Amino acid sequence: MKKQRFLFLSVIVLTLLLALFVNFSGFIFAIALLILITLFSLILIIKLIKGKQIKRLLKFTVTYSLIFIFGIIINLFIPYEKVSLGEDATLSQEIQQIYKSDQSDRKLLKTYLIPENKKEVIERDNLRLEKAKNIYLDYTNGKEQLNNQDKFNLAMILHHGKTKEDFEIAHNLAKQVANSDNKIQNAEWLEKATYDRLQLSQGKPQKYGTQH
């Protein structure tokens, strides 16, 4: 009985965490939660079926579903990140905020479930791309200096662009970071992904198979 109660509570807590905070946690954490939820659920269901505890099984199923739905509803009301910090921020802080909002928009469920939010994210993407390209232009003109993290963040933003020019800039920045001594996590992957995206924008086949 104690084991069943522990499994039941574990599944509920993990499900609530997944539904509420997946947008803050990142892909790896979300996958880990899903694996734990699936594992604990299977163990609990098997125990309940073996013990012929149909009422407890139904109770678990209903509670699990309600908690998950509640978490999803709460997730839909999480506000979008600011695209810009304004004039008081340093360049690196501004780039970090643009990058953060870019990633956050793609993790919120409401971006995919609500049509109006899809339109809003498109507008936010356009604003981010404009800011990123202006920063890159200042960098190439020698007006601004970028560290590796700045370059990586800008490359990721432009990786979500629309034109060949966007992908060329993204690949150039990602390549600089990947080939530098000061390595950034996922820089080599981003170099490959931006190259594949650039290839596809020109009607050419991918080299690394990063785009699906």
What pLDDT is attached to residue 24?
47
User: Is 9 contained in some domain?
Assistant: yes
Percent over 70 (pLDDT), the chain: 73
Q: Which of 15, 44, 77 is the last residue of a domain?
A: 77
Which residues span the domain enclosing 121? 91-202
CA-CA-CA-CA dihedral for 197, 165, 112, 15, to nearest 10: 60
Averaged pLDDT score across all residues of the chain: 82
Find which of 4-8, 87-91, 107-111, 148-152 is predicted with most confidence, using mean pLDDT: 148-152
Cβ-contact 103, 70 below 8 angstroms: no
- The b/e string for 151-183 (b: 16+ C-beta within 10 A; e otherwise) is bbbbbbbbbbbeeeebbbbbbbbbbbbbeeeee
What pLDDT is attached to residue 202?
94
Q: Which of 30, 52, 77 is the last residue of a domain?
A: 77
User: Is 208 contained in some domain?
Assistant: no
User: Is 73 contained in some domain?
Assistant: yes
Cβ-contact 44, 11 below 8 angstroms: yes
Q: Is residue 111 predicted with pLDDT exceeding 60?
A: yes
Pair (67, 4) in one structural domain: yes
Q: Is residue 102 predicted with pLDDT exceeding 90?
A: yes
pLDDT in tens, 22-58: 554 454 555 666 666 677 677 767 776 776 676 766 6
Pair (196, 103) in one structural domain: yes
Pair (61, 5) in one structural domain: yes
What pLDDT is attached to residue 2?
59
Which residue in 106, 102, 80, 212 sits closest to 154, CA to CA?
A: 102
Q: Is residue 1 predicted with pLDDT exceeding 60?
A: no
Q: Is residue 99 predicted with pLDDT exceeding 90?
A: yes
Pair (69, 151) in one structural domain: no
What pLDDT is attached to residue 19?
57
- Amino acid present at 123: E
Pair (109, 35) in one structural domain: no
What pLDDT is attached to residue 69?
73
Pair (98, 166) in one structural domain: yes
Pair (107, 195) in one structural domain: yes
Pair (69, 105) in one structural domain: no
Pair (6, 61) in one structural domain: yes
Of residues 126 and 27, more confidently modeled: 126
User: Is 37 contained in some domain?
Assistant: yes
Cβ-contact 8, 60 below 8 angstroms: yes
Cβ-contact 85, 112 below 8 angstroms: no
User: Is 156 contained in some domain?
Assistant: yes
What residue spans of the chain are helical by DSSP H?
2-25, 27-50, 54-76, 91-105, 110-113, 115-140, 148-159, 164-178, 187-201
What pLDDT is attached to residue 76?
79
Pair (107, 189) in one structural domain: yes
pLDDT in tens, 150-181: 999 999 999 999 999 999 999 999 999 999 98
- How many domains is the chain partitioned into structurally? 2
User: Is 130 contained in some domain?
Assistant: yes
- Amino acid present at 192: K
Pair (96, 193) in one structural domain: yes
